[in-house]
Amino acid sequence: MLRSYQVAEFAKPLVASESPLPEPTGAQVLVKMERCGVCHSDLHIWDGYWDLGGGKKIVAANNGSLLPLTMGHEIVGTVVAKGPEASNVEIGQRRLIFPWIGCGSCAVCQSGAEHLCAGKAQALGVFLNGGFASHVLVPADRYLVDYGSLNTELACTYACSGLTAYSALKKIGKLPDGQSLLIVGAGGVGLNGIAMAKAVTGQAPIVVDLDPAKREAALKLGAKDAIDPRAEGAGKALVKATGGVAGAVDFAGSPQSFEFAYGALRKGGHLVSVGLLGGQTTISLPLLVMKGVSISGSYVGSLVELKELITLAQQQHLPALPIEVRPLDAVNGALEQLKAGGVVGRIVLSN
């Protein structure tokens, strides 16, 4: 049997459900879930909407996501069955699953950016059933990634929080010495970003978070400094000390976090916006021009980037963010705790 915890109604506790094990066809692979991270984006999927600001929302029910749905997209599992065309994996192999699966045929998918699919996306735990379950049916064997000797709990977080952080930091690129990197938000994605910032950009980041426990976790993972943005004159002091930052990543995604990061940029600086807390902001057009800054959005990452990240993690032994393993049955409590902001690092479910 396939045991799962499903969203039956948006924002209501997940409901335990059982169904017969699916039989993989074609290149499909059936994976027994071993570890699955609980991600902040699960909270948005669970709520069923994203806050666009100005009273506007994206509603999941209008966006192809139909209930009941099994969430969970940071999955490591063991291959237990496969279709006849799944020739790149063997039964018994443990693999990390790339969950950001697209339609495969739209122009965006064809360019290699399946995670940004403009057609009928099939992301696991968002549109197709994901990892808050005993088993996951993966649409094709090409989405299974060998994570070698990496720790299983850490490896699963690389499917979303790690990949998201990696793709955002890659957009900043290498920064020469003397140039500063700012990371706003030290939640699960932010902490993974802090852990890999030096390896990807060449610079240890200055970190901003409201929560002292998260600032402390940031410093332990190699942050150069950790600032409380509510402290009097925090933004001005940062600009004075650094001359303005060359790169900034906003892992929170609220008007306050974005404005703090944008205000900290030096001329020619680059802000990458990642978080999905929601809202909107106003930008002075002449200042955007005269400062010559750039702003990019970055949403999760590609299959190629996930493989790059796994290679980087193996070569450079990236430090692990704090991880707490709990049984799959504890998923509702984990979501509630994450919603309340009471998680430093990652809760990972085990099966």
Chain residues binding Zn ion by CB under 5 A are 39, 41, 102-103, 106, 109, 117, 119, 160
Burial track 164-198 (b if 16+ CB lie within 10 A, e otherwise): bbbbbbbbbeebeeebbbbbbbbbbbbbbbbbbbb
Strand, coil or helix: 330: helix
Q: How far is the CB of 225 from Zn ion (least distance, A)?
A: 27
Q: How far is the CB of 338 from Zn ion (least distance, A)?
A: 11
- What are the beta bridge partners of residue 4? 17, 133
Q: Which of 97, 33, 125, 99 is nearest to 349 (CA)?
A: 33
Looking at residue 12, the DSSP 8-state letter turns out to be S
Q: How far is the CB of 164 from Zn ion (least distance, A)?
A: 7
Closest CB to Zn ion among residues 65, 179? 65
Closest CB to Zn ion among residues 60, 175? 60
Q: How far is the CB of 41 from Zn ion (least distance, A)?
A: 4
Q: How many CA atoms lie within 13 A of 8 on its CB side?
A: 8
CA distance 338 to 188: 10
Phi, psi of 167 (to 5 degrees): -65, -40
Q: How far is the CB of 212 from Zn ion (least distance, A)?
A: 25
Looking at residue 222, the DSSP 8-state letter turns out to be T
Q: Give one DSSP letter per residue of 20-67, joined into a string.
A: PPPPP-TT-EEEEEEEEEE-HHHHHHHHTEEEEETTEEEEGGGTT--S
Q: How far is the CB of 189 from Zn ion (least distance, A)?
A: 8
